[in-house]
Structure 1
Amino acid sequence: MPAMLEPKLIAGNANQPLARAIARRMSMHRGMSVGLVEARVERFNDQEIFVEVYENVRGEDMFIIQPTSNPANDNLMELLIIADALRRSSASRITAVIPYFGYARQDRRTKARTPISAKLVANLIHEAGIERVLTLDLHAAQIQGFFDIPVDNLYAAPIFALDIAHHFRGQLQDVMVVSPDVGGVARARELAQRIGAPLAIVDKRRERAGEVSEMTVIGDVTGKTCIIVDDICDTAGTLCKAAEVLMEGGAKEVHAYISHGVLSGPAVGRIEKSVMKSLVITDSIQPTAAVTACPNIRIVPTAPMFAQAILNIWNGTSVSSLFDHETLTPIYEGMYSAA
């Protein structure tokens, strides 16, 4: 088998801009051109997905860049079919880079006769021939245990900490990190510890699915610049309501940092009209034109972190080192000046 000289990237249609950005960052790190493997990923008239890889991948270390965001089923099938094409083309190892892992919210049985869809998706990924998964901020950490292959789960908190230190320079003493529900306390606490800020919680109670009947702030937010932290923002109803409750509780202003901007349905309109001054999301999901045009939505890049993680996997070095401030800061050099 020929030596694996370079990692090779291939992308589906879910987030081509992110895939190209990762390739550019890897080119900078390697000092040589790293491009996307030329391939055809298209649909027949009946919407069946067809994949053809134009380059020789025999014996290569392949990385498929494909979030399983909306349309989740189409993007998931693209990922599986690309993996099958690579496996049948004798690729040495196949790693799925899934910046946003769809179906992650279906990680347990919430009532009788319901599926655990995240486990089913994990089984499909394994059976397709994928040998490792690289993802960002899984909705529930236990999903890593659904896989019988290694899973590297990156975190947006270190990037958010850099961004907060830059944009709230001189104001950090007034910043308070807020978890929008009790279940997200661990995620919010980690960011709060990174920036040395106190923590508050918005306790919400639902009468039925999708409807919040009551919200209570646990903690004193009077005069504070509140930063709501969560992993997913879908329709933004709960997020905007939490911002209103915080302002009513005496907060000076409210911002939000969300790992995955699903932003479906009325989300963008709600955010535009919200009392929130800004919503910061990553580019794990390709933003729509409405998202990019929204004046109070800002997008931070994940390509530098994913590019380094891919190189670390390929080199057999630590991926968890990217969780450290000292390691991540140089990767984002020039993007955030010192606080």
Structure 2
Amino acid sequence: MIVPGSSSQSLAAALASELDRPLAPVEFERFPDGELLAATPEVETGSAVIVASTTTSDAHLELLQLQDALRESGVSEITTVLPYMGYARQDSAFEPGQPVSVRAVARAVSTGTDRVLTVSPHEESVLEHFSVPAEAVDGAGVLADPLPELTDPVFLSPDAGAIGIAETVRESYGEGEVDYFEKVRHSGSEVEITPSDVAVDGRDVVIADDIVATGSTMSGAIAALEAPRRVFVTCVHPMLAANARTKLARAGVERVYGTDTIERAESEVSVAPALAEAIRSR
């Protein structure tokens, strides 16, 4: 049985199809005082897979309620799939008195599940905070699928930390160079981007990253390029908060491609097959 969170209904349906498992009925309600209620009426006992991206604080609470509802209904084994794990980038106490937010979130999620899968977390070290078995699933393997035919392509990551994603996209596409930008963060809002040494004049550029949130870093990287033919952005998690899509369009991005870990108009490819393989492998 596949149980969808409200933010991951399309991905949950795709995963149910991949695994040939039923999609559970779910109900979501908000009371006049603002409190949430996520319920799973008429669920089967046995095992269940919850699919819920925690893109908001409400989504986190909703996930905990779904876990508890399944336990209350007698489900004996729960796998929690976090296609996108919120707070995963808050993996340190950056100032005295601050929490390690991802640790707090992982502890809460662990109480209601037997296993956790999450897709391409910013740092795999976040998995260490769960008290149940936790595994990362690579979502970058499908990012090349929607790309058009490219001219002498260059695959770039916004920093050295994401070079593996650019390499994966390049390998899936089948040709092209790979490089990355040097990024120096001077403050929470000030980032310096140094251009890559690869010449991009007249060439198609694909910038690959795990997540595009505000679009500021990506737009800065694009501004550092000299005379590319076309620019595409591909990412596992298309958060695209606030005016991020407009920033990218103004920077000259022709198309943005993402997966369905966060369901957006730019979610061109699905991580359902990769998740299904991970679930079957147990």
- Per the normalisation by structure 2, the TM-score is 0.90
Q: In the alignment, which of 154, 173, 177 is matched to residue 176 of structure 1?
A: 154
Answering whether residue 259 of structure 2 is matched by residue 273 of structure 1, we say no
Q: In the alignment, which of 120, 134, 139 is matched to residue 156 of structure 1?
A: 139
More helix by share: 1
**Contact between 2:234 and 2:256, CA under 8 Å: does it hold in 1?**
yes
Give the C-alpha shift of residue 298 in structure 1: 6.0
Distance 2:94 2:153 in 1: 35
Fraction of identical pairs, as percent = 30
Q: In the alignment, which of 53, 56, 81 is matched to residue 40 of structure 2?
A: 53
Give the C-alpha shift of residue 16 in structure 1: 1.6
Distance 1:178 1:44, change over 3 A: same
Q: In the alignment, which of 176, 181, 187 is matched to residue 197 of structure 1?
A: 176
Where do 1:41-190 residues align within 5 Å? 41-58=28-45, 60-69=46-55, 72-127=56-111, 129-164=112-147, 167-168=148-149, 171=151, 174-190=152-168
Where do 1:216-227 residues align within 5 Å? 216-227=195-206
**Contact between 1:204 and 1:216, CA under 8 Å: does it hold in 2?**
no
* 1:329 matched residue in structure 2: none
The gaps in structure 1 that reach 5 residues or longer are 1-7, 28-33, 317-339
* 2:11 matched residue in structure 1: 18
* 1:232 matched residue in structure 2: 211
| One-letter code aligned to 1:111 | E
**Contact between 1:278 and 1:298, CA under 8 Å: does it hold in 2?**
no
Answering whether residue 191 of structure 2 is matched by residue 208 of structure 1, we say no
Deviation string, structure 1 residues 169-189 (Cα, Å, up to 9, x no partner): 7x4xx2221110122223333
**Contact between 1:203 and 1:218, CA under 8 Å: does it hold in 2?**
no
Q: Decide which moves more: 253-262 or 109-118.
A: 109-118
**Contact between 2:193 and 2:220, CA under 8 Å: does it hold in 1?**
no
- Per the normalisation by structure 1, the TM-score is 0.76
Give the C-alpha shift of residue 115 in structure 1: 1.7
Give the C-alpha shift of residue 63 in structure 1: 0.5
Where 1:152 maps in the other structure, the secondary structure is strand
Answering whether residue 280 of structure 2 is matched by residue 303 of structure 1, we say no
Give the C-alpha shift of residue 78 in structure 1: 0.6
Deviation string, structure 1 residues 240-295 (Cα, Å, up to 9, x no partner): 2211212x2x43322111110111111122223221222111111122xxxx3xxx
| One-letter code aligned to 1:267 | A
Distance 1:63 1:137 in 2: 18
Answering whether residue 229 of structure 2 is matched by residue 252 of structure 1, we say yes
| One-letter code aligned to 1:212 | V
| One-letter code aligned to 1:22 | L
Where 1:87 maps in the other structure, the secondary structure is helix
Deviation string, structure 1 residues 30-53 (Cα, Å, up to 9, x no partner): xxxx33222323222212222333
Q: Number of residues paired by the alignment?
A: 281
Distance 1:160 1:51 in 2: 32
Distance 1:78 1:298 in 2: 23
Where 1:240 maps in the other structure, the secondary structure is helix
Distance 1:224 1:52 in 2: 51
Where 2:59 maps in the other structure, the secondary structure is helix
| One-letter code aligned to 1:98 | L
